[in-house]
Amino acid sequence: MRLGLGLIGTGFMGRTHAVAFTNVNRIFDLPVEVDCRMIADVDAEQASNAARAFGFDAATADWHQLVNDSQVDIVAIATPNVLHKEMALAAIAAGKHVYCEKPLAPSAAAAMEMTRAAEARGVVTAVGFNYLKNPMFKLARDIIARGEIGEIRSFGGVHTEDYMMDANAPWTWRLDPKGGGGALADLGSHIVATARYLIGPITKVLGDVRTVIKTRPDAVGSSRRVPVEVEDIGRALLTFENGCSGVIEANWVATGRKMRHDFEISGSQGAIAFSQERFNELHLYLNTDESAQRGFRTIFAGPEHEPYGRFCVAPGHQIGFNDLKTIEVCDFLRAIAGEQTGHAGFREGLSVQTTVEAIYRSAKDEAWTNVPV
Amino acid sequence: MRLGLGLIGTGFMGRTHAVAFTNVNRIFDLPVEVDCRMIADVDAEQASNAARAFGFDAATADWHQLVNDSQVDIVAIATPNVLHKEMALAAIAAGKHVYCEKPLAPSAAAAMEMTRAAEARGVVTAVGFNYLKNPMFKLARDIIARGEIGEIRSFGGVHTEDYMMDANAPWTWRLDPKGGGGALADLGSHIVATARYLIGPITKVLGDVRTVIKTRPDAVGSSRRVPVEVEDIGRALLTFENGCSGVIEANWVATGRKMRHDFEISGSQGAIAFSQERFNELHLYLNTDESAQRGFRTIFAGPEHEPYGRFCVAPGHQIGFNDLKTIEVCDFLRAIAGEQTGHAGFREGLSVQTTVEAIYRSAKDEAWTNVPV
Amino acid sequence: MRLGLGLIGTGFMGRTHAVAFTNVNRIFDLPVEVDCRMIADVDAEQASNAARAFGFDAATADWHQLVNDSQVDIVAIATPNVLHKEMALAAIAAGKHVYCEKPLAPSAAAAMEMTRAAEARGVVTAVGFNYLKNPMFKLARDIIARGEIGEIRSFGGVHTEDYMMDANAPWTWRLDPKGGGGALADLGSHIVATARYLIGPITKVLGDVRTVIKTRPDAVGSSRRVPVEVEDIGRALLTFENGCSGVIEANWVATGRKMRHDFEISGSQGAIAFSQERFNELHLYLNTDESAQRGFRTIFAGPEHEPYGRFCVAPGHQIGFNDLKTIEVCDFLRAIAGEQTGHAGFREGLSVQTTVEAIYRSAKDEAWTNVPV
Amino acid sequence: MRLGLGLIGTGFMGRTHAVAFTNVNRIFDLPVEVDCRMIADVDAEQASNAARAFGFDAATADWHQLVNDSQVDIVAIATPNVLHKEMALAAIAAGKHVYCEKPLAPSAAAAMEMTRAAEARGVVTAVGFNYLKNPMFKLARDIIARGEIGEIRSFGGVHTEDYMMDANAPWTWRLDPKGGGGALADLGSHIVATARYLIGPITKVLGDVRTVIKTRPDAVGSSRRVPVEVEDIGRALLTFENGCSGVIEANWVATGRKMRHDFEISGSQGAIAFSQERFNELHLYLNTDESAQRGFRTIFAGPEHEPYGRFCVAPGHQIGFNDLKTIEVCDFLRAIAGEQTGHAGFREGLSVQTTVEAIYRSAKDEAWTNVPV
């Protein structure tokens, strides 16, 4: 099966998508082959340059043309999230499969609309929670599913970076409250996705949000400062459906942290710890080890951890951030081909969104809040 | 100045005290010299054996005798915490300086009574928050105080161990609600003490407590199970007086963790991270480092970090848990001699207790709660 | 400039090359654009399948056809190393630029012949020492070159893996002494390349080689064992041209080690440490840091460490093994375009080979041995 | 049994001994009790002060008096190593048990004389290789002895510090060639002791020594520089009696390293790695772990690792450098009481010395050299 790709967006994430869709058939043996048909950017010249650089047949400044092109079977959306809904709905209406960057939409209501449209139209969807595609996440999930660390008792997770730590860094679209929130929406959604992937649904939350830097310059070099309306730090206490409790923190002023998407899961028979800054490793503790020899093992990703071996035949050589994206595209294509891969479709993106919104509501109400099913 | 020591308790912590009081004059040059006068244990034979093993002049089965002995100037209390108040009050009444293990008492009210009595009588007191005595804590505090990491924005701390993780481990006095609580009272008090030491007073809290193991055998090998009334996991969101926010977790079912008393402090100009499992190290990140060369530095304790050099002239050789106790005793003796050492007296123990109680109250009320000053 | 690529070899390394040559124009803005013209494999069907999977225009079972094809400007050789010389010489004779996997050849004499041929013909060459392409290596080299860690005093390096640790793993071509040696030739050549890249030429060596597993099954499942004639472990003491001394170890029976290509460099003013298992990090110690705050910093790769930013705009997200290959191809293409990139051409591959051979000679002679210039 | 202690030396190591001998009966239940009888220092006032501070009954400026005192049963020697032989021989002649700091003597011949004298007189001896007393070393040795990591194939060890890294640090007694050598004698002896403890006798060596800082000021602040005659870095390739090969490095100009006494041992079924900078941890890799879950485990010292539990009842709390000394004294006292503890007596100190001397000889001869039995 050959499918045509239409990609909207030519920025960093657009390029990442282009590379992933190009590599996926070189790395994996798939029943689907992708042809890079059309790329869209509001700037026609930029679209044209990107088409040449990324190997697309055609370029357009009008994304409507792309989603309606008969040679386009898959639409990948790598644009600011305020645009996701309109683009996705149009693509779905045209019967295209849709791969949308996270967060799915600025609100759960919008995400719901997108999800229902896709399900009604019967197209396959994907949301860009690429950290979930790490082979070590699958290892962790399998260990938990097989009961090797027993009953899950506790989850602690953070997603912390420091790219907003400078009080003189100017206002950006990330700070626009219309985008759905601050650090919690941007980074916290990732750790919610991870918690759900490994432990299951979150049913109750108690959140707290803090704006550390109250005003920022309205532009680079400007001396005029505007108020910041979204949080720099968001935290939440959690209850999972299975009874496990937990806590998460999303923080984009976490000085010194570049990419912490770290978690620790305690079970009655063992524990798992992970740090994204070393994402080719998983740390596993098992009570079944001989008692004087117990300790967290540092397991390095290798060919035994699928699909690492598609990228490299030797363990410890490490896959990179962009490879996670290639795995995500692979799972998406497999889903289009009818295989079961457990990839995060719009329905899952909606659940994450719903959970994040519940945290915001709970922070406002200063009360434990149920997450709508 | 020579001072006589009376030690109540001959168990593990009693021995630790005995060693610390013995070593302190060998390690430090102090204006006070300690003579080990009397040791007390309800079991007369045990008291007698301990006196010989630990080098005390006399033994008694009656702690009242000890606190009233004219040769005893300092009373060290290393008994279960339900006994702290009565013993401390008696010692204070007799005009003795008192060194009491943590937590000071099962309730803030009791801690308040002890603190007021000591202050009224003018005796010097100490509470056993020995982790604060780590030279790396002083380094961290000094870095913060000098403004090297800027304005403090965030605190995250845990105290997690796994000694209660086995659901078949029997009921113990630690599970007695009369002791003041569970993991939060036992372990959380340490991380509250650390947060206060480094950041300052905590003014508002929002807590959550969970009992993971609902019943336990009532004795070793018993098939009868009794309900557990205290929490295995306690968490709290925090606001500090200086505006900084934070989160803590106390967990004694944290499988695989033996001694995590870990924290991360983010400031506007840098950050500090610490792990108790490697307590001779401090991790420091500075924005003032050249931009392409920034990273957390692993600083090993050495003679430049007082009083490490009293224990070893060379860096990286490491002090141990018992050495922290020796430093604690040193600071206590210096305070008795009138020196300013910033050690944790009853007043500080009371503040920790008050904070912990506020967390319990907040968890019960499911609401943000002010910590009484 | 558009250049046609001919790739010989369709195995793991062949695929890695195909992906790298495909990605290089998507990741980098280059004056050269690559067209995947022809791929060769002794198995015609395999060649044909690979052409389709990797996006090559044509396939052949005869590599001579490939090296002589007029549309092929660059020949990439990803075959067993006994074939490198013949293929490279033929490609050079046809005026092609040649990118050859390491080691360049089984002997320094053969490597010399290849190098001279390429230089005489004026074609650009590259050897696959891809670990050198790590942005953190460039950071390390720059730090050293700027004198930030002072005069270099000591180098310690290892390349250890465990893929040969099982005494029942069968004989393979890696054990063929015609290949030039064992662990030292296969893995040690990498650490020699690193030492040269960072410190400079090695002038004297004293080597030691050990065969730990004396016999191996002659085939999978066979009960017949054949003697092993190459070393499992090779070590060498070193003197560098600049006076620095060092030691290296190559070991393919290093149980538990998956990909250690680790080094530590001590200078009079600082030090650098690196571990390939976490290759997006560099550890830097500077004497110029405030004395009580010195420690090895963990620097995570980010956009400030070129060309990391071409792969990801955010620090700490990590590049992978295959990305190193893409950087290598980038540098090769830039060299073809006339830019200075300092990539490892045949001349450098020859120097590595010469050094490795001197170690073997020294081990045989049990004496310090000069490395020929 | 009560035994009187005479301690020669009141410097840092003297104090360490005093504390260890004082603590040993408080920490351990031993058949021997120590009375601190007499302390000696060439400076009478210093001796007197030390007696008071460390709790000794008497002081002397004449160590001969001490070794001949009838109340002294044990002589501890914590003086510069050029004095060891004379003092030890005198103590042995007087029938005292002798605990001597390492290295036993500046030469193997002297060490041999001391060893023979002690054995002839039938007194118990000890040498201060206190790193061997780490409970994690015993764990490692037991794992090896039980065959859990199979046949031992490779040993790599370093002892690196940076206390001599400053070229302007003045000449000290450590640089006196009469002391027996430089970094190799001072630090390398420790790693030789560890290698022997864990793997067994070393039979052949090939050494290399380097003096990095050729001249040093002859005194603090002096502008006159004197030549340095001993090595700053020593390295050796090794063959063990059991066939295992290895390599060691001793380096006191290893910038940034404060206390590396690190090793890695590879076996056919597993591996052990250790770093002294985190000496309460042992890293263990076992091939018997499930294949997708293998990794080095970080085992923290706890009560299961004797005698850690004597210092602390909870795991992960950590013992310190001085506690290793207390364990050493414990083993010595047990040996005096007739128990088998495997402590390092003079005979073992002699073997270490002999090995170190063989390395020096081999470095001079530039040839593999047998270690005399």
**Could you state, in order of their start, the residue ranges of all structural domains in chain D?**
2-130, 131-316+345-365
Q: What angle do CA A173, A175, A179 make, to 5 degrees?
A: 70
d(CA D321, CA B320): 7
Helix (H, G, I), strand (E, B) or coil at B135: helix
pLDDT in tens, A75-92: 999 998 889 999 999 999
Strands in chain B per DSSP E: 2-8, 33-40, 58-60, 74-77, 97-100, 125-127, 152-160, 202-210, 215-217, 225-227, 233-240, 245-251, 260-267, 270-274, 281-286, 296-300, 369-370
Contacts of C232 in chain D (CB under 8 A): 153
CB contact under 8 A, A304 and D296: no
What pLDDT does residue A317 have? 97
pTM recorded for the entire structure: 0.97
CB contact D316 to A (< 8 Å)? no
What pLDDT does residue D70 have? 97
pLDDT over 70 percentage in chain B = 100
Helix (H, G, I), strand (E, B) or coil at D112: helix
Other C-beta atoms closer than 10 Å to the C-beta of B222 total: 13
The 3-class secondary structure across D218-260, one letter per residue, is CCCCCCCEEECCCCCEEEEEEEECCCCEEEEEEECCCCCCCCE
In whole angstroms, how far apart are CA D306 and each of C165, D20, D33, D281, D311? 32, 17, 21, 14, 10
pLDDT band for position C80 (50/70/90)? confident
Position C182: which residue type?
Answer: G
CB contact under 8 A, A315 and C259: yes
Considering only CA atoms, give the Rg of chain A. 21
- Structure tokens, A77: 């959306």
The H-assigned helical ranges of B257-370 are: 308-311, 321-336, 346-365
What pLDDT does residue D180 have? 85
Closest residue to B322, CB basis, from D18, D260, D311: D311
Residue A47 parent element (H or E): helix A44-54
Q: Is the dihedral of CA D248, D249, D250, D256 positive or negative?
A: negative
Position C155: which residue type?
Answer: F
What pLDDT does residue A319 have? 98
How far does CA D325 lie from the centroid of its chain?
10
Helix (H, G, I), strand (E, B) or coil at C234: strand
Half-sphere exposure of B200 (CA within 13 A, CB side): 14
Residue B116 makes CB contacts below 8 A (sequence gap 6+) with none
pLDDT in tens, D210-226: 999 999 999 988 999 99
Q: What angle do CA B189, B195, B196 make, to 5 degrees?
A: 90
Look at the block and give the residue holding tokens 């206002």: A171
Quick one: DSSP state of residue A11?
Answer: S
Q: Are C261 and C102 in contact (CB under 8 A)?
A: no
What pLDDT does residue A204 have? 98
CB contact under 8 A, B319 and D315: no
Mean pLDDT value of segment A205-230: 96
The DSSP code sequence of C305-366 is STTHHHH-SSTTS---HHHHHHHHHHHHHHHHTT-------HHHHHHHHHHHHHHHHHHHHT
What pLDDT does residue A173 have? 82
Helix (H, G, I), strand (E, B) or coil at A203: strand
pLDDT in tens, A110-163: 999 999 999 999 999 999 999 999 999 999 999 999 999 999 999 999 999 999
CB contact under 8 A, B23 and D18: no
Answer yes or no: is pLDDT of A64 > 90.
yes
Report the first-to-last Cα separation within chain D, whole angstroms: 36
Closest residue to A254, CB basis, from B154, B158, B251: B154
What pLDDT does residue C172 have? 87
pLDDT in tens, D77-128: 999 888 999 999 999 999 999 999 998 988 999 999 999 999 999 999 999 9
CB contact under 8 A, A23 and C23: yes
Could you tell me which of D176, D147, D8, D26 has the C-alpha nearest to residue D76? Answer: D8
Closest residue to D26, CB basis, from B26, B53, B260: B53
Strands in chain A per DSSP E: 2-8, 33-40, 58-60, 74-77, 97-100, 125-127, 152-160, 202-210, 215-217, 225-227, 233-240, 245-251, 260-267, 270-274, 281-286, 296-300, 369-370
How far does CA D20 lie from the centroid of its chain?
15
pLDDT in tens, B281-322: 999 999 999 999 999 999 999 999 999 999 999 999 999 999
d(CA A60, CA C151): 57
d(CA C147, CA C189): 27
Count helices and strands (H / E) in chain B. 11, 17
- Structure tokens, A212: 């550390």
What pLDDT does residue D66 have? 98
Could you tell me which of B120, B137, B129 has the C-alpha nearest to residue B348? Answer: B129
Mean pLDDT value of segment C175-193: 93
Mean pLDDT value of segment D310-337: 96
Could you tell me which of D364, D102, D101 has the C-alpha nearest to residue D236? Answer: D364
Residue B89 parent element (H or E): helix B84-93
Mean pLDDT value of segment A257-281: 98
Question: Is it true that domain C131-316+345-365 has CATH number 1.10.150.250?
Answer: no
Answer yes or no: is pLDDT of C343 > 90.
no
* Touching subunits for chain B (3+ Cβ pairs under 8 A): A, C, D
Q: How far is D303 from chain A (nearest CA, A)?
A: 9
CB contact A299 to D (< 8 Å)? yes
Closest residue to B300, CB basis, from D258, D300, D315: D258
Answer yes or no: is pLDDT of B66 > 80.
yes
pLDDT over 70 percentage in chain A = 100
Report the first-to-last Cα separation within chain A, whole angstroms: 36
Mean pLDDT value of segment A268-281: 98
Mean pLDDT value of segment C47-60: 96
Which residues, listed in sequence order, are joined to residue A49 by a DSSP beta bridge?
A: none
pLDDT band for position B342 (50/70/90)? confident
Helix (H, G, I), strand (E, B) or coil at B159: strand
pLDDT band for position D186 (50/70/90)? very high
Question: ipTM for the complex?
Answer: 0.96
CA-nearest residue to B264 within chain A is A254
Answer yes or no: is pLDDT of B172 > 90.
no
Contacts of A143 in chain D (CB under 8 A): 293
CB contact under 8 A, A271 and B257: yes
Q: How far is B117 from chain D (nearest CA, A)?
A: 33
Give the best residue of B139, B288, B297 to mutate against chain C (max C CB count within 10 A): B297
Answer yes or no: is pLDDT of C112 > 90.
yes
CA-nearest residue to B158 within chain A is A156
Considering only CA atoms, give the Rg of chain D. 21
Could you tell me which of C300, B155, B232 has the C-alpha nearest to residue A249? Answer: B155
d(CA A230, CA A183): 8
d(CA B340, CA D68): 46
According to DSSP, the β-strands at D245-251 and D152-160 are: parallel
What pLDDT does residue D173 have? 82
Strands in chain C per DSSP E: 2-8, 33-40, 58-60, 74-77, 97-100, 125-127, 152-160, 202-210, 215-217, 225-227, 233-240, 245-251, 260-267, 270-274, 281-286, 296-300, 369-370
CB contact under 8 A, B258 and D319: no
- Structure tokens, B28: 């430090």
Helix (H, G, I), strand (E, B) or coil at A372: coil
pLDDT in tens, D38-48: 999 999 999 99
CB contact C370 to D (< 8 Å)? no
CATH topology of domain B2-130: Rossmann fold (3.40.50)
d(CA C42, CA C62): 7
Could you tell me which of C215, C234, C237 has the C-alpha nearest to residue C226? Answer: C215
pLDDT in tens, C264-315: 999 999 999 999 999 999 999 999 999 999 999 999 999 999 999 999 999 9
What pLDDT does residue A178 have? 86
Mean pLDDT value of segment B195-219: 97
- Structure tokens, A169: 């860094």
d(CA D340, CA D344): 11
Half-sphere exposure of D110 (CA within 13 A, CB side): 20
What pLDDT does residue B330 have? 97
Q: Sort residue D226 into left (φ over 0), alpha (ψ -120 to 50) or beta.
A: beta
What pLDDT does residue D203 have? 98
CB contact A304 to D (< 8 Å)? yes
CB contact under 8 A, C295 and B291: no
Q: Sort residue D243 into left (φ over 0), alpha (ψ -120 to 50) or beta.
A: left
Contacts of A293 in chain D (CB under 8 A): 139, 143, 284, 297, 299
d(CA B115, CA B298): 39
Q: How far is D271 from chain A (nearest CA, A)?
A: 13
Other C-beta atoms closer than 10 Å to the C-beta of A136 total: 21
d(CA C194, CA C140): 11
